[in-house]
Amino acid sequence: MHVQASHFIDGDYAEDTDGRAFDSINPATGEVIATLHAATPAIIERAMAAAERAQREWASWLPVERARVLRRASDLMRERNDALAKLETLDTGKAIQETLVADPASGADALEWFSAQAAGLSGESVPLAEGFAYTKREPLGVCVGIGAWNYPIQIASWKAAPALACGNAMVFKPSEMTPLSALKLAEILMEAGAPKGLFNVVQGFGDVGAALSTHAKTAKVSLTGSVPTGGKVYAAAASGMRHATMELGGKSPMVVFEDADLEDAIGGAMLGNFYSTGQICSNGTRVFVQKSILEAFLTRLAERTKTIRLGDPLDPETHLGPLISEEQRRKVLFYVEAGKSEGARLVTGGGVPEGEAFAKGAYIEPTVFADVTDDMTIAREEIFGPVMSVLAFDTEEEVIARANDTPFGLAAGVFTRDLARGHRVADALEAGICWINTYNLTPVEIPFGGVKQSGFGRENGRAAMEFYSQLKTVQVALGKVDSPY
Ligand code: NDP
């Protein structure tokens, strides 16, 4: 694939071949689809300087003018949906039937929705004894976005849209495993009329992310990544009193009560474990099922899991493509072995599919373990692959305590026909987002993010605007200054 250059800076592609070369690989075939260069210090300086310049200009625009650019960008992204989806499938290995509906589409939703937020940006007015005060939301400055590899264009858009809506500029570093689609977002924003330098992309590994996180011009860092990386990036941001949003990993519980609609609960559990070949931070990887329906749940779950079609991710009939890399498959297989050796019952999957079609990609079967107990490795650690753990429970009180017994707190789900119980359990679960009778839906209108070790700050929803802006209070006196001096 022809890539014009590795980086996108100040409105155009940029290259510095002194940077370490790395390949972007199609995980389904092992083929190199592009060779890029990691950012050198000179590239990082250029990107930060361009962003700083552009931000000053952008912040002087009327909010409604900024809104128009974001709205045009969302239209362009929708027009290019099919090409962008194909690019995302080539770069991530995710099935085209997913990327056509979930990746650029969700990015376009974010650009569109935050364009409306930009236009409606306002503060509050507070009456006081002798006068009043008003507040206004001001931009932070240059924001750094750092992305994971599972939803590249979505992550870039979810960060860029609210950041730009608030009047900030952004320098974005994609995961080096999926470097391509963020460049397309940069092209789109420029075509939509953004000032040059407003959204820049620099490529590289963790050291580039670290250099951006500690750069003197950086006002905020927003990371989507793992908990250990989150710890490092948060510490780096704190060193300069920078703002931070941490969207990190999880080990989220999904609770299925005996009165739940069984087919819906199974569908939710499958989507919440197998979509994107299981590489989703909010996946409900601990599925607690009430004992009275456990065997019925497992029987039907196994039947439906066996209908999942693995294969070429570009084939529209394929449900599951490969994992992102061979290394990730080794990690997932390690957990499958841990599940077996620690006494979990393998219900289905657990292996590597055989045959020519799977020979070159990091494919793995969708896997279900039953008889999982809370102390097992597969019930405690994030796997980031299509491995579901089913745990049995008796009572509501018991399952809430067990569901919360984790350092993570990204997401949670509850399936029940009892409305009061649904709300009661959602209330009690320690998670940033809870779903009742559905799972893993992330429409742009609702805030998304974690508690506990899963991070802080929120993406999407009006809440995201608070995390990309700072409040200024202005008090206005209408009387005389009352001074004893
Ligand atoms: P990593 O934490 O390994 O990497 C995330 C990003 O941070 C990458 O771009 C990475 O670069 C960069 N990075 C690594 N070290 C540093 C550093 N010291 N300073 C700054 N940046 C750094 O995550 P993965 O890419 O492996 O993604 C999987 C993880 O992401 C999972 O744990 C998953 O749960 C989480 N995730 C969370 C989501 C959420 O919204 N809560 C959504 C999606 C994923 P490089 O790629 O070169 O290492």
For the chain, give the mean pLDDT.
Answer: 97
Q: Does 216 have pLDDT greater than 80?
A: yes
25 annotated ligand binder:
yes
**Cα 146 to ligand 1 centroid, rounded to whole Å:** 7
What is the rounded CA–CA span in Å between residue 46 and residue 35?
Answer: 21
Known active-site residue 52? no
Tens digits of per-residue pLDDT, 161-191? 999 999 999 999 999 999 999 999 999 999 9
Give residue 120's pLDDT. 84
Is the CB of 205 within 6 Å of ligand 1? yes
pTM higher than 0.95 for the full model? yes
| Mean pLDDT calculated for residue range 297-310 | 98
What is the rounded CA–CA span in Å between residue 80 and residue 70?
Answer: 15
Is the CB of 146 within 6 Å of ligand 1? yes
| Mean pLDDT calculated for residue range 209-231 | 97
Tens digits of per-residue pLDDT, 34-46? 999 999 999 999 9
Task: Please report the atom of ligand 1 found closest to the CA of residue 454.
Answer: 41
Is the CB of 276 within 6 Å of ligand 1? no
Known active-site residue 247? yes
Is the CB of 468 within 6 Å of ligand 1? no
Task: Please report the atom of ligand 1 found closest to the CA of residue 212.
Answer: 20
**Cα 93 to ligand 1 centroid, rounded to whole Å:** 18
Q: Which DSSP string corresponds to 306-339?
A: TTPPBS-TTSTT-SB---S-HHHHHHHHHHHHHH
Where does 361-410 show beta strands of DSSP type E?
367-370, 387-393
Known active-site residue 326? no
Is the CB of 410 within 6 Å of ligand 1? yes
Pairing of strands 142-146, 169-173: parallel
End-to-end CA distance of the chain: 75
Task: Please report the atom of ligand 1 found closest to the CA of residue 281.
Answer: 34
Structural domains of the chain, with CATH: 7-249+454-472 (3.40.605.10), 253-436 (3.40.309.10)
Tens digits of per-residue pLDDT, 133-168? 999 999 999 999 999 999 999 999 999 999 999 999
pLDDT band at 121 (very low <50, low <70, confident <90, very high): confident
361 annotated ligand binder:
no
| Mean pLDDT calculated for residue range 348-365 | 96
| Mean pLDDT calculated for residue range 417-444 | 98
